[in-house]
Structure 1
Amino acid sequence: MNAAADKRWLYAVALLATYLQSVNLPLPNAALRLIQGSLSMTDDQAGWIFTAYLAASAITLPIAQWLAARFGLKRVYQLALLAFAIGLWLGTLASTPLEFIAARILQGLASGVLAPLSMAIALETLPAERRPAFAPKWTALVLFGIVSGPSIGGVICEYFDWRPMFYLSLPLLAYIFMVVTLLLGEKKADQRPPYDFFGFATFTLGMIGLQMCLDRGERLDWFDSAEIWIETLACVLGLYLFVVHRMTSKAHFISKALLRDRNFMLSTVMFFALGFVLLSTMALTSPMLDEILGYPPDTTGALTIPRGVGLVGAFLLMGRAPAWVDTRAFIAVGIALVVYANWLMLGYSPLMDWTPVAVTGFIQGVGLGILMPALSKAAFSTINPTLRPEASGLFNLMRVYGSTLGVAVVQLFFFNNTQAMHSALVSQLTPYRVALPTSLPALEGLNHLVTHQAAFVAVMGQFKILMLAMLVVSPLVLFLRKPAAAN
């Protein structure tokens, strides 16, 4: 096989690996009810299915390039493929929530390595003149994986079971591993590359402590639990050491030049808010359709398609946007569409059909599809070209942390608000107001109805949080400098 053909094969499997690591993040979304039932998983544990994957990928994402330079790109990539496959296989064998979450953590750790290294491999196969145009295509593929995952998982679950969702990726990973083994040459740095492990470790400790506190606080009754105290102290200590190290050290894994760039920092904050909305909406909508409104998994998954079409379609069309249009206008329009879509979601009703979900999902998808490339352009237009690799890593890391913290926050408020609304509704069920049933089955049915009503009201409250998250960052558009023309 000649060199050109080898590059084509490597390019194809790199894109396939990119798609697989992104599609497996939301794959269980439309099948939460089945997964919870088979594993005896509580509602609060269901949120860990997403946060475990995201938080784990955020740990390995910043060090993926260093690992490749230190130990060899091919070796690290092969180990990541193997770890990802083992994580998927262990997920199918899980019989308890803890086993399943552990499998998702392993998948996330491998995903954080696969994503940037797949991009690096694909770029190596392209001629230099085609590389600048590759990043938008790669991002579109990642987005396509995220938005198509629930529909694929829903169809498989409806006709088979939830475990075959993960089996589907295993032969594809074996194929990628074989092609990489045969065609990819080893490549690593001649000297051990430097890396600020202390800064990275303290930042990670702070963020993971915060994540664990949010995920576990409700179940353990917050500060009545020693575990929550430990996780809170870990968060505070980690972030404190990170800030001190950042202010006193000369070398840091986040360059001071990046922090001084106004466009980059403001765009990164807005990108964090975008991540907060991107997956949190999906984490709320699918359970609402599946568990509260009783839609089957395939329908639940299918109703994510309009959002995906709007997101990926708008993202690709933004690549053809006229260069003379001010990027700040696109950012403002994107934020406005996302806010409007979340405002429409506040009008959801238990009596509605699928149409409002499809329409609002499409509008929000278009807003997010406009916002992502516009923020990227604003962020990188004023960055020194030598800092772009570092800036790109931090920029995408903030989106990942925005997603994982967003899912944790909406899950937290969802359960709190459901309990509060349930208590409020039950307080109105007195013999003086309504004729209460006396049989146990009838009382159970009434409690089931009240619980569903409380849960639906709580979901509406979380859509309001997502709307407010975008509203809070919207004034930052006014402080952006007009991006320079692309180099």
Structure 2
Amino acid sequence: MNTHTATAADARSLRLVALLATYIQSANLPLPNAALRLIQGSLSMTDDQAGWIFTAYLAASAITTPVAQWLAGRFGLKRVYQSALALFALGLWLGTLAATPLEFIGARVLQGLAAGVLAPLSMAIAVETLPVEHRPAFAPKWTALVLLGIVSGPSLGGWICEYFDWRPMFYLSLPLTAYIFMVVSLLLAEKKADPRPSFDFFGFGSFTLGMIGLQMLLDRSARMDWFDSPEIWIEALACGLGLYLFSVHVLTRKAHFINKGLFADRNFLCSTAIFFAFGFVLLSTMALTSPMLDEILGYPPDTTGFMTAPRGVGLVGAFLLMGRAPAWIDPRLFVALGVALVAYANWLMLGYSPLMDWTPVAITGFIQGVGLGILMPALSKVAFSTLDPKLRPEATGIFNLIRVYGSTLGVAVVQIFFFNNTQAMHSALVSNLTPYHQALPTSLPALEGLNHLVTHQAAFIAVMGQFKILLVAMLVVSPLVLLLRKPVATN
């Protein structure tokens, strides 16, 4: 075999394992979604703690994503990538051994920290294996793979959980991660930046402190009775201090974590705000739908997982079709169409009923998926079309980071309102039950059954309230579509 052939084969192998790593890290985010009831029962996890399964992964990945390229430039791409793979495998293995909620959440944090590095570096490795002329067309394909992992994770996890257990969900990724590690060890050459790259650690640290403080505040507030707890005050102060220091840093320094030039571009600002709402809806819908089907309506995990498939088909299918959209069509029209479809699907979700079958969930999920699949590429095109080309690399990182924070904060917000509204609705429903109702049972088993029924009704009403929050989120950002300028030809 000649050198050229061997090099081409090595490049193809590296590209394939980089894409496999991309899929694995994105699929493991929602993988436990269809098996929440079994995970909660096995680990004695409360309803509010279940939300941490997603927010821990997302928040941890948001911390490491911005520094992934700096780490690769400073310590070497191969070394950092292998370390992330090892950390990801450790998180998977610890997740299978977890016996308490804290241990499981800790394992999810490790997975998220590694995923935040794997995602951008996998793309970097894959892009470098392609000829220069093929690189611009690769980004949409990579994004489609990330979306495929997110939407297929619940189906895969639900099927494994139904026929085996919830722990084998994580076993599945271990040999694949080991295979990626082996291929990278054999074929990837070490690469460092020369000179050593710089990074605004103060700006990044203050921003991260503010966002993590906000995340902890939202995650812990319901359990700790909000500001009656010293812990919540500490988290609120950390949030305020971090965001204050970051704001002062941005306003007083010429070079920092976020270039001030980005704030001068109206298209980028408006598109980023809409993209935040995109992230807010993307995973929050999944975090609400699967527990509704599994815990409230009583569907088995495999059915719960497969009922999310129409949403994934609509999302990935629409995203790929958008790549073939005629260039002469104004992308702002697609942004408006995507926002309208997502809002319409969220409005249809308000009509869910405990008596429904799978049809409404499949139809609304498909419509929402199509809207999200149209919205994402259209927003990306509009956001960068009027931006200075020198700012695009930095803007790309910020743009995607905002989507991640939209997802993690969205899941936290709906979990707060779900927890509080379930308690409020349970109290309201129980208040109408008095010992003077002739039909009211008196035996203890019958009363337990009645309480179970009331709890399910209260939880279902609370879920409907959270779908309303998602609808409001899209309606709030929808006027920003009118502020978008017509895109110009990109360089």
Partner residue in 2 for 1:164: 168
How far is 1:119 from its partner?
0.2
C-alpha distance after superposition, 1:397-452 (max 9, x if no partner): 00000000000000000011101000100011124455211111110000000000
Q: State the alpha-carbon separation in 2 of the partners of residues 485 and 474 from structure 1.
A: 25
Match of 1:187 among 179, 186, 191: 191
- State how 1:294-313 maps to structure 2 within 5 Å: 294-313=298-317
Partner residue in 2 for 1:251: 255
Q: Secondary structure at the match of 1:376?
A: helix
Partner residue in 1 for 2:370: 366
Q: 2:236 aligned with 1:232, yes or no? A: yes
Match of 1:118 among 119, 122, 130: 122
Partner residue in 2 for 1:134: 138
Match of 1:44 among 28, 45, 48: 48
How far is 1:383 from its partner?
1.6
Q: State the alpha-carbon separation in 1 of the partners of residues 289 and 145 from structure 2.
A: 22
How far is 1:99 from its partner?
0.2
- Aligned partner letter, 2:194: D
Q: State the alpha-carbon separation in 1 of the partners of residues 361 and 88 from structure 2.
A: 33
- Aligned partner letter, 1:463: F
Partner residue in 1 for 2:86: 82
Match of 2:224 among 198, 220, 227: 220
C-alpha distance after superposition, 1:127-155 (max 9, x if no partner): 11111111100000000000000000000
Partner residue in 1 for 2:284: 280
Q: State the alpha-carbon separation in 2 of the partners of residues 45 and 101 from structure 1.
A: 9
How far is 1:388 from its partner?
1.4
- State how 1:86-485 maps to structure 2 within 5 Å: 86-433=90-437, 435-485=439-489
Q: Secondary structure at the match of 1:323?
A: coil
Q: State the alpha-carbon separation in 2 of the partners of residues 160 and 105 from structure 1.
A: 25
- In structure 2, runs of 5+ residues without a counterpart are none
Q: State the alpha-carbon separation in 2 of the partners of residues 455 and 415 from structure 1.
A: 9
Q: Secondary structure at the match of 1:132?
A: coil
Q: State the alpha-carbon separation in 2 of the partners of residues 434 and 272 from structure 1.
A: 52
- Aligned partner letter, 2:74: R
Q: State the alpha-carbon separation in 1 of the partners of residues 390 and 226 from structure 2.
A: 45
Q: State the alpha-carbon separation in 2 of the partners of residues 401 and 482 from structure 1.
A: 27
Q: State the alpha-carbon separation in 2 of the partners of residues 98 and 479 from structure 1.
A: 45
Q: State the alpha-carbon separation in 1 of the partners of residues 488 and 396 from structure 2.
A: 18
- Aligned partner letter, 2:140: P
Structure 1 runs (4+) greater than 6 angstroms displaced: none
Q: Secondary structure at the match of 1:25?
A: coil
Identity %: 83
Moved more, 104-113 or 383-392: 383-392
Q: Secondary structure at the match of 1:438?
A: coil
Q: Do the aligned partners of residues 251 and 434 (structure 1) sit closer, same or farther apart at CA in structure 2, a change above 3 Å counting?
A: farther
- In structure 1, runs of 5+ residues without a counterpart are none
Q: Secondary structure at the match of 2:451?
A: helix
Q: Secondary structure at the match of 2:80?
A: helix
Moved more, 245-254 or 101-110: 245-254
C-alpha distance after superposition, 1:231-269 (max 9, x if no partner): 000000000000001100111111111111110111001
Partner residue in 2 for 1:31: 35
Q: State the alpha-carbon separation in 2 of the partners of residues 308 and 208 from structure 1.
A: 29
Q: State the alpha-carbon separation in 2 of the partners of residues 131 and 434 from structure 1.
A: 73
Partner residue in 2 for 1:69: 73
C-alpha distance after superposition, 1:103-137 (max 9, x if no partner): 00000000000000000000000011111111100
Q: State the alpha-carbon separation in 2 of the partners of residues 370 and 315 from structure 1.
A: 6
Q: State the alpha-carbon separation in 1 of the partners of residues 219 and 308 from structure 2.
A: 25
Q: State the alpha-carbon separation in 1 of the partners of residues 488 and 429 from structure 2.
A: 56
Match of 1:8 among 12, 15, 25: 12
How far is 1:189 from its partner?
1.1
Q: State the alpha-carbon separation in 2 of the partners of residues 218 and 289 from structure 1.
A: 23
C-alpha distance after superposition, 1:260-300 (max 9, x if no partner): 11101110010000000000000000000000000000000
C-alpha distance after superposition, 1:187-238 (max 9, x if no partner): 0112221111000000000000000000001101111111111000000000
Q: State the alpha-carbon separation in 2 of the partners of residues 432 and 101 from structure 1.
A: 46
Q: Secondary structure at the match of 1:201?
A: helix
Q: Secondary structure at the match of 1:430?
A: coil
Q: State the alpha-carbon separation in 1 of the partners of residues 123 and 21 from structure 2.
A: 10
Q: State the alpha-carbon separation in 2 of the partners of residues 397 and 302 from structure 1.
A: 29
Moved more, 425-434 or 109-118: 425-434
Q: State the alpha-carbon separation in 1 of the partners of residues 263 and 68 from structure 2.
A: 22
Q: Secondary structure at the match of 2:194?
A: coil
Q: State the alpha-carbon separation in 2 of the partners of residues 385 and 102 from structure 1.
A: 40
Q: Secondary structure at the match of 1:383?
A: coil
Normalising by structure 2, what TM-score?
Answer: 0.98
Q: Secondary structure at the match of 2:238?
A: helix
- Aligned partner letter, 1:441: P
